[in-house]
Structure 1
Amino acid sequence: MKEKIYTIPVTDAFRIDSECPMCVLEQKLEDEYIEYYLGPSLMEPDHRIETNDKGFCAKHFELLYNKQENRLGLGLIIDTHLCEQNEKLKKLFGDSIKSSGKKTRASIFRKISEKVTSKESNKETDPVDKIISELENLEKKCTVCGRLDYTMDRYIDVILYLWFKEEDFKNLFNSKKGFCLKHLKSLLKGTKKYLNSRERAVFTENLLKIQMENMDRIQKEVNWFTKKFDYRYNNEPWGNSRDALPRSIQKIVGPCRLK
């Protein structure tokens, strides 16, 4: 199989023994992005604009902090992110709100409450709805998640291309232990985006056959794990079940960093 620069990460991930090669891909990407946002991105205005607007989800804030590298850089990211978000929220709350004025805050929210209960209130202009909408939008945003989603979609395109064009990769793919349910869904969605109807039928049949075989396998391994706590099975070999718990969790939910 001829390697190209955009196929190397995919083939490398598929050569690793795992419950889901795409989890291997995603976690490697995630680690690279965490390193990047704590380092080079700090000096790139375009990326600072993005982090100011989107920030990070709880998971990726946790990874950034727990990395314990360049805490000053993380502080700068959070500082400018809060500055931008605070400005947006102040406009929604009203220009007269002062962060230290309890009386002012009470007055503003009393006015908001009166507007909400007013018969003339309009849902489109309801200040509470605007605040809720802004907070929900912010909650859905994450700079790292956005980049992961984009790059993983590109990798799905590569996987499907290689499966049909490279016999060596097809054999490698078919020899794996299937995928986590998250990435199974991603692959199935990818077939609708990147394959024609004939290709989709062929690939999906093959994929689901592999997946069901390995879902049955992991369930049996977990079942044997539980039986090993029964004294009647003390002298029986563990087989592949000793680490069945973390592998089964990954199979169900996708990339996770279990300790």
Structure 2
Amino acid sequence: MKETICTIPINDIFMPKDGCPICRMEKMLEEQYVRFVTGDAMMEPNIRIETNKKGFCHRHFSQMFESGQKLPNALILESHLQEIIDNFMPKKLKGKPDKKQLEGIKTELDSCYVCDRIEWDMRHFMATVFVEWAKGEEFRKLYNKQPFICLKHYSFIMETATGKGGMPSKHLADFHAETAALTKNYLESLKGDITHFCSMFDYRNKGQEWGSSKDSIERSIEFLTGEKP
């Protein structure tokens, strides 16, 4: 596959052939945005407006805090907390609750600037994947050499492939079959390993080999959630 500005990240993500490539994509974007939010974004008024409005989920607040940069976190929280006071708290502490404000708080609690940016970028990454896959055999072979697509990202890939700007319809059936094979084949192998793991606790199998079942619990959690335990 000829490398361009768009395809270089795709090559970097798929070349390792280690675990789910879409998990690597998501992790790469997550790390970039957490660094960005607590770094360069501090000087971008438009981004601060967005972070004040959307806030962050617990996962990304935690990662931002763990970055060790306390002042950027404090400045982000200062303006975000003021946004909540201005928009979702009653002006006077009396009377009936404002349903609009309560709905606003519910929406606020479900929003995250980093999550939204990751999802937007991942959909654009997948658009490049679809283009490269449809071009010919080189990337398609690389795609099919992946160990597996985790369950979370199998769902995401197929939802994206069948949506607007997804895989061209003439390639969709083949793409679905090959993506499903990556997920199903690994899932069946994983199920076999878990069954073998369970059987090793039967006294009749004492002394038998654990084989690849030793880490089957950890691999099952990674497959089902997209994250290692």
How far off is 1:257 after superposition?
A: 5.1
How far off is 1:131 after superposition?
A: 2.8
- Is 1:45 matched up with 2:45? yes
Which amino acid in 2 is paired with 1:87?
D
Instruction: Quote the residue 1:83 is aligned against.
Output: 82
On the 8 A contact 1:19/1:178 being kept in 2, the answer is yes
| Structure 1 residues 103-122: aligned runs within 5 Å | 108=94, 111-112=95-96
Question: What root-mean-square deviation, in Å, do the aligned CA atoms of Structure 1 and Structure 2 show?
Answer: 1.8
How far off is 1:253 after superposition?
A: 1.7
State the distance in 2 between where 1:238 and 1:36 align: 44
- Is 1:244 matched up with 2:216? yes
| Structure 1 residues 157-176: aligned runs within 5 Å | 157-176=127-146
Percent identity over the alignment is 31
How far off is 1:226 after superposition?
A: 3.0
Instruction: Quote the residue 1:32 is aligned against.
Output: 32
Instruction: Quote the residue 1:219 is aligned against.
Output: 191
Number of aligned residue pairs:
227
On the 8 A contact 2:222/2:228 being kept in 1, the answer is no
State the distance in 2 between where 1:183 and 1:210 align: 11
Most deviating of 179-188 and 231-240: 231-240
Secondary structure in 2 matching 1:240: helix
State the distance in 2 between where 1:174 and 1:5 align: 23
How far off is 1:209 after superposition?
A: 2.5
Secondary structure in 2 matching 1:176: coil
Gaps of 5+ in 1: 98-107, 113-126
How far off is 1:53 after superposition?
A: 0.8
Task: Normalising by structure 1, report the TM-score.
Answer: 0.81
Instruction: Quote the residue 1:2 is aligned against.
Output: 2
Task: Normalising by structure 2, report the TM-score.
Answer: 0.90
Name the CA shift for 1:251/1:42 in 2 (closer, same or farther; >3 Å).
same
Q: Runs ≥4 in structure 1, deviation > 6 angstroms?
A: none
On the 8 A contact 2:87/2:101 being kept in 1, the answer is no
- Is 1:179 matched up with 2:166? no
How far off is 1:231 after superposition?
A: 4.9
Structure showing greater Rg: 1
State the distance in 2 between where 1:181 and 1:18 align: 16
Instruction: Quote the residue 1:18 is aligned against.
Output: 18
Q: Deviations over 1:44-76 (max 9, x none)?
A: 111111111111011111111123x21111011
On the 8 A contact 1:52/1:84 being kept in 2, the answer is yes
State the distance in 2 between where 1:71 and 1:135 align: 26
Gaps of 5+ in 2: none
State the distance in 1 between where 2:207 and 2:146 align: 30
State the distance in 2 between where 1:174 and 1:230 align: 37
Which amino acid in 2 is paired with 1:198?
K
State the distance in 2 between where 1:147 and 1:20 align: 20
Instruction: Quote the residue 2:118 is aligned against.
Output: 148
Q: Deviations over 1:109-145 (max 9, x none)?
A: xx31xxxxxxxxxxxxxx4422331111101210100
On the 8 A contact 2:22/2:149 being kept in 1, the answer is yes
